[in-house]
């Protein structure tokens, strides 16, 4: 059974890259605005229980067979401040391995307020 | 039906069916190999023939102190008296220890990376292959071999693979791994990996204390004994080479490539897998070529030969646990005979028989090698 919880006003999450962390039914949850959309993740690193969502938002580095090493500046990755594990804010998935995913939650906006379902 | 046939436990070595030695050395004498140097390298043959000290002035082998009993078996210097210069002696040795089939590796030429002149290195590697084929492999079933290549010239190494890969008796590629600089993950070796993958031959990496200086110069300079040198150089060598292959994406570029790390025991493997997985997750900006945990590439593509297990008789269950952590399906028995730190089959069997089911035990003693090498 999930309930809807107000976590912020839309104004607080208006800017790209903004975030609000609040407690939702006993779990710290972060809401980010990334690529214009709102996404909610547990503020919990599945590695060693660090405060994942207090880490920086970053872009991502990729390498190709031709030897290129590119940086995608779109800041849609959150990097845990403890050990640097990286997760895609849009999916909660680890960038490095399909073994790990951060819990994500549905986000809704209604009458200028942001709600997380948990 | 014996318990072994049911896939249950295996009680004795006799229940196994077959024992395959994945690190079976010949002790080639330079004088045996030289006549097999190809005519296009006859100048190399002539110069080596004239050399007063070819082990120091062609190969550039050195040790902190003399290698003691390790040299009595022709380990490093390929003396005249070396016992397995000849096929019959090798087969007798295998019979004595209950080994059914052997995958042959060199001894002197594990120091191939100490040959500073790349043309000499190629000439010697190719000659060794022709000698091995002629003297050991042709006309019998129990011996197969790894094809030796000179990493100094990856282009010519790939040519050598193409020359001999169709010989059924060559079942793998041998890259001497101590003194392999730059290390195995460097892209300069891609032609070798490409040729190996194309021919479906696994690559076997084998270190040697004879080449320590060429890999770990500071360590070699300040090691005061051969014992220190030998104890560390084998695992250090393999850890560096495996780390660079994993982190630089060799297995992403060559997903069909299988590799074998020899002569370093087993217990370092779980340590390194844990460590590399941890660093991959924490320092991922350094490693964008990888798409999964380093240990997953290891589980899929990397094999380890068991000798020397170390002095584990006092705690056999811990050795079994180390093998469990390494991955029993990636572990293959090796004797290292005739070298003086060899493990007879019992050294592995006695550790694993109480701990694993019959199928797993048979795999480690020979079944996995049979599958990997197509035996």
Q: Which residues of chain A have a CB within 8 Å of the CB of B284?
A: 84, 86, 95-96
- Residue B280 has its nearest CB partner, among A47, A69, A96, at A96
Per the structure block, which two tokens stand in for B114? 């100490």
Which range, A67-71, B63-67, B177-181, B315-319, has the best average confidence (pLDDT)?
Answer: B177-181
Instruction: Provide the mean pLDDT of chain B.
Output: 94
CATH of the domain at A42: 2.102.10.10
Token pair in block for residue B86: 């000849």
In a domain, B150, yes or no: yes
Low-confidence winner among B4-13, B184-193, B330-339 (lowest mean pLDDT): B4-13
pTM: 0.95
Q: What is the pLDDT of residues B137-159, one digit of tens each?
A: 999 999 999 999 999 999 999 99
Q: Do B283 and A65 touch (CB under 8 A)?
A: no
B18 close to A (CB below 8 A): no
pLDDT of residue B80: 60
Which one-letter DSSP state was computed for residue B330?
A: G
Q: Is residue B8 part of a domain?
A: no
Q: How confident is the model at residue B85 (pLDDT cuts 50, 70, 90)?
A: confident
- The whole-number pLDDT of residue A84 equals 96
Q: Which residues of A touch B249 (CB under 8 A)?
A: 63
- For residue B141, the model assigns a pLDDT of 92
Collect all residues with Cβ–Cβ distance below 8 Å to A108 and sequence separation of at least 6: A4, A114, A115, A117
- Work out the percent of chain B whose per-residue pLDDT is above 90: 87
Contact check, Cβ <8 Å, A84/B289 = no
Top residue of B276, B277, B281 to mutate, by most chain A CBs within 10 Å, is: B281
Among B296, B295, B239, B299, CA closest to B263:
B239
In which residue are the tokens 């090498």 written? B373
Which pLDDT score, from 0 to 100, does residue B191 have? Answer: 98
The complex's ipTM? 0.93
Tell me, yes or no, if B40 comes closer than 8 A to chain A by beta carbon. Answer: no
Chain A partners of B283 at a C-beta cutoff of 8 Å?
A: 84
Closest partner residue to A63 (CB to CB) among B282, B288, B292 is B288
Count of A-B CB contacts under 8 Å? 31
Residue of A60, A86, A96 to mutate for B, most B C-beta atoms under 10 A: A96
CATH number of the domain that residue B118 is part of = 3.20.20.140
Nearest CA to CA, how far is B164 from chain A (Å)? Answer: 30
Helix B226-247, helix B294-301: angle, nearest 10: 100
Domain that holds residue B136: 19-373
Reading chain A (118 residues) residue by residue, the pLDDT tens digits are 689 999 999 999 999 999 999 999 999 999 999 999 999 999 999 999 999 999 999 999 999 888 899 999 999 999 999 999 999 999 999 999 999 999 999 999 999 999 999 9
Is the CB of B283 inside 8 Å of chain A's CB atoms? Answer: yes
Q: Find chain A residues with C-beta within 8 A of B281's C-beta.
A: 47, 83-85, 94, 96-97
H-only helix segments in chain B: 30-33, 42-50, 54-57, 69-72, 87-97, 118-132, 154-164, 190-199, 212-215, 217-222, 226-247, 250-253, 268-282, 294-301, 316-326, 345-352, 358-362, 368-373
Q: Do B293 and A86 touch (CB under 8 A)?
A: no
**Three-state secondary-structure class, residue A8:** strand
Question: What is the extent of the structural domain holding A111?
Answer: 4-117
- As a whole-number percent, the residues of chain B with pLDDT over 70 amount to 95
Residue at B14 is within a domain: no
- B157 occurs within a structural domain: yes
Report the pLDDT value the prediction gives residue B17, as an integer from 0 to 100. Answer: 81
- The answer to whether residue A86 neighbours chain B at the CB level (below 8 Å) is yes
Q: Report the number of distinct structural domains present in chain B.
A: 1
User: For residue B10, what pLDDT is reported?
Assistant: 83
Q: Which of B282, B283, B286, B287 to mutate to test the interface with A (most CBs of A within 10 A)?
A: B282
* pLDDT tens, position by position, A1-18: 689 999 999 999 999 999
State residue B188's pLDDT score: 98
Subunit contact B292:A63, Cβ cutoff 8 A: no
| B290 in contact with chain A, both atoms CB, cutoff 8 A | yes
Q: How far is A69 from chain B (nearest CA, A)?
A: 8
A33-48 tens-digit pLDDT: 999 999 999 999 999 9
Which of the pair, B6 or B56, is modelled with greater confidence? B56
Q: A99 in contact with B at a CB cutoff of 8 Å?
A: yes
Number of domains in chain A: 1
Q: Nearest by CB to B282, which of A62, A63, A83?
A: A83
Quote the CA–CA distance of A29 and A105 in Å, as a whole number: 8
On the question of pLDDT at B4 being above 50, the answer is: no
| Contacts of B17 by beta carbon, 8 Å cutoff, 6+ apart | B4, B362, B366
Q: Which of B9, B61, B44, B59 is nearest to B127 (CA)?
A: B44
């Amino acid at each position: 059974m999930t309930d809807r919880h107000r976590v912020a006003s839309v104004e607080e999450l208006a800017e790209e890259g903004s975030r609000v962390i609040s407690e939702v039914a006993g779990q710290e949850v972060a809401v980010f605005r990334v690529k214009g959309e709102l996404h909610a993740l547990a503020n919990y690193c599945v590695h060693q229980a660090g405060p994942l969502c207090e880490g920086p938002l970053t872009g991502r580095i990729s390498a190709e067979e031709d030897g290129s090493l590119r940086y995608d500046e779109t800041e849609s990755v959150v990097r845990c401040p403890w050990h640097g594990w990286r997760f895609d804010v849009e999916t909660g998935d680890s960038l490095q391995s399909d073994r790990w995913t951060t819990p994500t939650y549905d986000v809704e906006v209604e009458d200028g307020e942001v709600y997380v379902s948990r | 039906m014996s318990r072994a046939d049911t896939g249950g436990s295996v009680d004795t070595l006799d229940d196994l069916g077959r024992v395959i030695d994945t690190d079976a050395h010949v002790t080639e004498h330079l004088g045996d190999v030289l006549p097999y140097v190809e005519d296009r390298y006859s100048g190399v043959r002539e110069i080596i023939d004239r050399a007063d000290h070819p082990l120091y002035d062609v190969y550039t082998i050195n040790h902190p102190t003399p290698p003691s009993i390790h040299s009595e078996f022709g380990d490093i210097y390929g003396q005249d008296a070396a016992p397995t210069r000849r096929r019959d002696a090798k087969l007798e040795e295998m019979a004595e220890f209950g080994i059914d089939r052997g995958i042959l590796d060199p001894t002197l030429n594990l120091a191939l990376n100490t040959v500073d002149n790349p043309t000499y290195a190629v000439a010697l590697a190719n000659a060794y292959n022709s000698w091995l084929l002629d003297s050991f492999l042709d006309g019998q079933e129990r011996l197969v071999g790894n094809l030796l290549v000179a990493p100094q010239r990856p282009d010519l190494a790939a040519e050598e693979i193409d020359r001999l890969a169709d010989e059924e008796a060559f079942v793998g590629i041998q890259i001497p791994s101590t003194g392999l600089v730059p290390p195995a993950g460097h892209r300069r070796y891609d032609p070798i990996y490409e040729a190996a993958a194309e021919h479906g031959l696994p690559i076997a990496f084998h270190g040697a204390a004879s080449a320590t200086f060429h890999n770990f110069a500071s360590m070699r300079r300040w090691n005061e004994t051969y014992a220190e040198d030998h104890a560390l150089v084998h695992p250090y060598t393999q850890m560096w080479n495996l780390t660079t292959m994993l982190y630089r994406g060799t297995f992403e570029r060559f997903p069909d490539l299988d590799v074998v790390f020899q002569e370093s025991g087993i217990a370092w493997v779980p340590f390194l897998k844990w460590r590399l997985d941890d660093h991959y997750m924490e320092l991922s900006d350094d490693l964008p070529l990888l798409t999964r945990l380093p240990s997953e590439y290891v589980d899929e593509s990397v094999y380890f030969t068991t000798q020397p297990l170390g002095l584990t008789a006092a705690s056999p269950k811990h050795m079994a646990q180390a093998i469990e952590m390494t991955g029993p399906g990636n572990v293959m028995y090796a004797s290292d005979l005739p070298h003086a730190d060899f493990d007879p089959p019992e050294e592995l069997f006695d550790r694993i028989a109480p701990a694993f089911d019959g199928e797993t035990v048979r795999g480690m003693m020979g079944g996995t090698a049979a599958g990997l090498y197509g035996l």
